[in-house]
Amino acid sequence: MNAEVLPIGAGVQAPKGARATLLALWPYVWRFRQRVFLALICLVAAKLSIIGVPVLLKRIVDTLNVAPDIRLAPLALLLAYGALRLSSTIFQELRQILFARVMARTARLLTLQVFEHLHALSLKFHLNRRTGAVSRDLERGMEAVTDLLDWTVYTILPTLFEITVVCIILIRTFDWTFALITLTTIACYVTYTFTVTEWRIRYYRAKNEANTRAAGRAVDSLLNYETVKYFNNERFESDSYNQTLRDQEEAEVKALKSLAVLNIGQSSIVAIGLTLLVWRAAEGVAANTLSIGDLVMVNAFLIQLAMPLNYLGMVYREVKQALTNIENMFALLAEQRDVADSPGARDLDPGTGGIVFDQVVFAYEPERPILRGISFEVKPGESVAVVGTTGAGKSTLARLLFRFYDVQSGSIRINGQDLRAVTQSSLRQAIGIVPQDTVLFNDSIGFNIRYGRVDATDAAVQEAARAAQLSHLITEMPKGFDTLVGERGLKLSGGEKQRVAIARTVLKNPPILILDEATSALDTRTERRIQAELEQLAKNRTSLIIAHRLSTIVHADQILVMDHGQIVERGRHDELLAMRGRYAQLWALQQHEQQEALAHEPA
């Protein structure tokens, strides 16, 4: 895990409510407490400068009423007025400079922690998730962290501080009615804003929910581009996507209409409060108890307070939405790992790589058992092949060996070590796999081969490509190893993708090898060429070969025949043929199919 990221504790709970979310976010911010403290000092200085402007403006107006021979005072006051205006801006920008790093890095570290946690979750979570929706939650959560800190530190706290100081000045300078009118105006403004915003936030949520559904639908549709084309369902996809956009459109229209209601109400409240304050100040001027400057100062104070309050509805809505988005991000962080390292887990010592499946029972769903008491041993340096019909549980063996799932009962051991007692990272480092379904990154061929060992040299990558019979293909491409393979490798054929998978496993050079129908996407002739390389790769390694084509496993040290989650036959190729059982039937059928395929292939 990245050293900057806070550790993920077991049993993390997703926060519920504003207070819980802020408390969950606080440890990330507290790491930058020195910057936060300095930013708050700048914030207070900026607000005091802004509050000082109306006070100074009052003195300027009052000074202009004295005898014209006193000229230095107005000039000094004007210079002080300009200095306060400038200092307020300078302190605000200093606050921005100091706090920008806090916001950006807090968002980055939290997002990175969630990203790492998503990779740490079990395969079950990723099989059930919608990629577009999770990606959107991650994106919104990162933006929300910045927005929440921005609005809280830059708007809410400064406004509260400014209101407090202004009320103190009004009480100390004038009678209590001025402060009462100001506080009543602000209270009415805040109450109205919160009430209307709470009413209209449903439309904002509906828009976001529709946006998430639309994003998930769009990503899912585009990832399955070929399937859409195969079944001529472009119109169906467009209509489905349009329906989510229509829901979003309706919510947006209602949100904009309700915003007009909010703005009219806010302006009315401010106008009434301002009128009452000016009326009280005008009475004081008429009675010679207040000066013209007092009237100007009172008016300036309320106008100055009205400016941040005008954003209150938006701030309230954005803060609530930011809290919701951060809750969603923390909810991802709270997802429990079905498979986790035990507290005392040690790194795997693969040794010579012997594998034992001991009475393994496993089911993805309780009502649908997959493996029923499977037991077998792969001795160090040997190769064991597993064959059987579709759904027999062959590929599940590979998933359990990688510990994507834990067995319900029984155990799996490597070099005498139970997989549940070793770290997942060390376990997976010791195993290489050529999967049945190869999915490539949308990057170059070279990048996808080097993914087997990211620190490999170019020479090692080229050697791995040669071993996988890729050299000829790469030399034909104008950009060679820099050729982009497209989304999920769609620019390559199935056989080409399979060879890239073989190349990166060759590059990884693991002590334990899993071939999960590694040549299933290749034609018969190419399969024969690559088979020799695979046999060379498997030499002196402990190998588990999951095969459909029996011709690829005739030299295996042991062959297991599976049916409905059980091993029904086991032995070497010749022994199984002599049994004249399930394996012999499969062999005869495939030999006939292979002869027909070769007869139709071009020379």
Print burial letters for 26-47: b (CB count within 10 Å at least 16), e (below 16). Answer: eebbebbeebbebbbebbbbbb
Whether pLDDT at 130 is above 70: no
What DSSP assignment string belongs to 255-303? HHHHHHHHHHHHHHHHHHHHHHHHHHHHHHHHTTSS-HHHHHHHHHHHH
Domain boundaries, the chain: 18-333, 345-430+514-574, 437-509
Q: Most confidently modeled of 100-104, 243-247, 309-313, 404-408?
A: 404-408
Report the pLDDT value the prediction gives residue 361, as an integer from 0 to 100.
Answer: 93
Angle between helices 312-333 and 18-30 (to 10 degrees): 80
Q: Of the given ranges (1-10, 219-228, 327-336, 575-584), which has the lowest mean pLDDT?
A: 1-10
Residues 464, 466, 470, 475: is their CA dihedral positive or negative? positive
| Residue 447, CA distances (Å) to 440, 465, 500, 515, 524 in order | 10, 12, 10, 22, 28
Report the chain's C-alpha Rg in angstroms.
35
Do the beta carbons of residue 192 and residue 313 sit within 8 Å? no
pLDDT over threshold 50, residue 400: yes
On the question of pLDDT at 481 being above 80, the answer is yes
Contact 467, 507 (CB under 8 A): no
pLDDT of res. 272: 87
Q: What's the pLDDT score for residue 86?
A: 76
Whether 14 has a pLDDT exceeding 60, the answer reads no
CA angle 328, 197, 149 (to 5 degrees): 50
Q: Give the C-alpha separation, 123 to 116, whole Å.
A: 14
The residue count for the chain? 603
Nearest to 485, CA basis, from 435, 449, 521, 434: 449
- Note whether 345-430+514-574 and 437-509 share their fold: yes
Give the per-residue pLDDT at 76: 64
Kindly indicate the confidence band of residue 203, based on its pLDDT and cuts at 50, 70 and 90.
confident
- The answer on pLDDT for 240 being more than 80 is yes
CB-based contact 513:543 (threshold 8 Å): yes
| Residue partners of 114: CB distance under 8 A and separation at least 6 | 138, 141, 329, 332, 333
Which H, E and C letters describe 382-433, residue by residue?
A: CEEEEEECCCCCHHHHHHHHCCCCCCCEEEEEECCEEHHHECHHHHHHCEEE
Which residue reads 């809505």 in tokens?
A: 317
- Phi, psi angle pair for 266, to nearest 5°: -60, -45
Residue 535 pLDDT exceeds 90 = no
CA–CA gap between residue 569 and residue 456 (Å, rounded):
42
Residue written as tokens 């205006």? 85
Higher pLDDT, 330 or 11: 330
What is the CATH number that goes with domain 437-509?
3.40.50.300
In 3D space, the residue among 198, 168, 173, 196 whose CA is nearest the CA of residue 183 turns out to be: 168
**Is the pLDDT score of 7 beyond 50?**
no
Tens digit of pLDDT for each residue in 405-421?
889 899 999 988 999 99
Distances in Å between the Cα of 450 and the Cα atoms of 305, 504, 505 are 60, 6, 10
Give the mean pLDDT of the chain. Answer: 79
Q: What is the pLDDT of residues 538-577, one digit of tens each?
A: 777 888 988 887 888 888 899 999 988 889 999 999 999 9
**Second-level CATH architecture of 345-430+514-574:** 3-Layer(aba) Sandwich (3.40)
| CA pseudo-torsion sign 575, 577, 583, 587 | positive
Arithmetic mean of pLDDT, 399-406: 88
Structure tokens at 278: 């000016």
Residue 29: partners with Cβ closer than 8 Å, 6 or more residues away? 36, 102, 106, 149
Out of 7-21, 236-250, 293-307, the most confident range is 236-250
* CATH architecture observed for domain 18-333: Up-down Bundle (1.20)
Q: Which residue matches tokens 């997703």?
A: 14
Q: Say if residue 326 is exposed, middle or buried (CB neighbours under 10 Å; 0-12, 13-18, 19+).
A: buried
Q: What percent of the chain has pLDDT over 90?
A: 9
Looking at the whole model, is its pTM more than 0.75?
A: no
pLDDT of residue 133: 63
Q: Two tokens at 33?
A: 């407490």
Q: What pLDDT does 1 receive?
A: 46
At 3 the three-state DSSP class reads coil
In tens, the pLDDT along 63-111 reads: 665 544 444 456 666 677 677 677 777 877 777 777 777 777 777 877 7
Given a cut of 50, whether residue 10 has pLDDT beyond it is no
| pLDDT score for 575 | 92
pLDDT in tens, 16-74: 656 666 676 777 777 777 777 777 787 778 777 777 777 776 777 766 655 444 444 56
Tens digit of each residue's pLDDT (9 = 90 or more) over 252-280: 788 778 878 888 888 888 788 878 877 88
| Whether the predicted pLDDT of 512 surpasses 50 | yes
For residue 449, what are its two tokens? 């081969």
pLDDT category at 386 given cuts 50, 70, 90 is very high
Q: Which pLDDT belongs to residue 506? A: 86
Report the percentage of the chain scoring pLDDT > 70.
84
Question: From CA 494, how far away is CA 529, in angstroms rounded?
Answer: 16
CA-CA-CA-CA dihedral for 486, 489, 495, 498, to nearest 10: 140
Q: Are 500 and 441 in contact (CB under 8 A)?
A: no
Q: How confident is the model at residue 227 (pLDDT cuts 50, 70, 90)?
A: confident
Among 280-289, 496-505, 552-561, which stretch is predicted with the lowest mean pLDDT?
Answer: 280-289
Q: DSSP character for 154?
A: I
pLDDT at position 411:
92
In the DSSP assignment, the letter for residue 435 is: -
**385 CB contacts (<8 Å, ≥6 apart)?**
544, 545, 546, 547, 553, 556, 558, 559, 560
- Residue 328's pLDDT band (boundaries 50, 70, 90)? confident
